[in-house]
A and B are shown apart, each in its own frame.
Chain A
Amino acid sequence: MLTIDQEIYDAIVAHARRDHPDEACGVVAGPEGSDRPERFIPMVNAAGSPTFYEFDSTELLALYKDMDARDEEPVVVYHSHTATEAYPSRTDIGLASEPNAHYVLVSTREHGNSEGPVEFRSYRIIDGVVTEEEVTITPQQTETVQSQKRSTP
């Protein structure tokens, strides 16, 4: 199951809407082993395409070095499909290389850049096997709760 804050959920959806009709992509990093997506990092789609996404290779290295320095890992890897359903394509499955990540797919095919409901689904993709999972959205955290959370070892 993916548990994600409302604020981050909204940020992913907003990014997908903004970049429509091109695919949007990014990660949400979190402390290694925690399974908590906490730090939203939108990435540039270097492919700039409505049917493909790829992180720029230099930005990819910077991202991983930064996560490494913070003892983080990519808890969520997200991208959008702009004309098809929010389900991993053959390419998505073949290239999935983070066995610990939740692969989030958002489809903007219904409303494009406009407001309106979007499909937001999450999957595990391990060794070519796709398993859909439930998404639980937690209400926006208050500042107090967040600082308590940070002090928890």
Chain B
Amino acid sequence: MAIEVRIPTILRTYTDGAKSVEGSGGTLSALIDDLEGSHPGIKERLVEEKAGSVDLRRFVNVYINDEDVRFMGGLDAELSDGDQVVVLPAVAGGAR
């Protein structure tokens, strides 16, 4: 099962500079584990452990077919063959 994953500039150090890579998995969580296998270190940049459970990092946005996964169950969001996943770090900051 092939899923195209678009990688942002800041994470291309994990993909030898590739703008997009292929992965597989029935859920976003499984896809991230699969990516970690081929691009070690990338998982830590996408998810974090908080209070014993693993969740997407607050300032990382992930989209499946243009929809923010936060509205689709987060890491449990389901994937099927041919889906396109886009990873984008939030553009954010503040005065403090």
Residues of A within 8 A of B (CB): 23, 25, 27, 43, 47, 49-55, 57-58, 60-61, 64, 73, 77, 79, 81-84, 88-92, 95-100
Residue from A47, A61, A95 within 8 A of B61 (CB atoms): A61
Determine if B94 and A51 form an interchain contact, defined as CB atoms under 8 angstroms apart.
yes
- B91 partner, pick from A25, A81, A89, beta carbons under 8 A: A25
**B51 on interface, CB distance cutoff 8 Å:** no
Asked whether, in the complex, the Cβ of A57 is within 8 Å of the Cβ of B68, the reply is yes
B residues neighboring A (CB under 8 Å): 8-10, 59, 61, 63, 66, 68, 70, 86, 88-96
Return chain B residues, CB-CB under 8 Å to A90: 96
Q: How far is the CB of B7 from chain A (nearest CB, A)?
A: 12
Residue of A nearest to B66 (CB): A61
The 5 lowest CB-CB distance pairs between A and B, nearest first, are: A97-B89, A92-B93, A52-B94, A54-B92, A55-B91
Q: How far apart sit A49 and B96, CA to CA, in the bound complex (Å)?
A: 12
Instruction: Name B69's closest neighbour in chain A (CB-CB).
Output: A57
Give CA–CA (A91, B92) in the complex, Å: 8
With A95-B59, A97-B10 known as contacts, the answer to whether A54 contacts B86 (CB < 8 A) is no
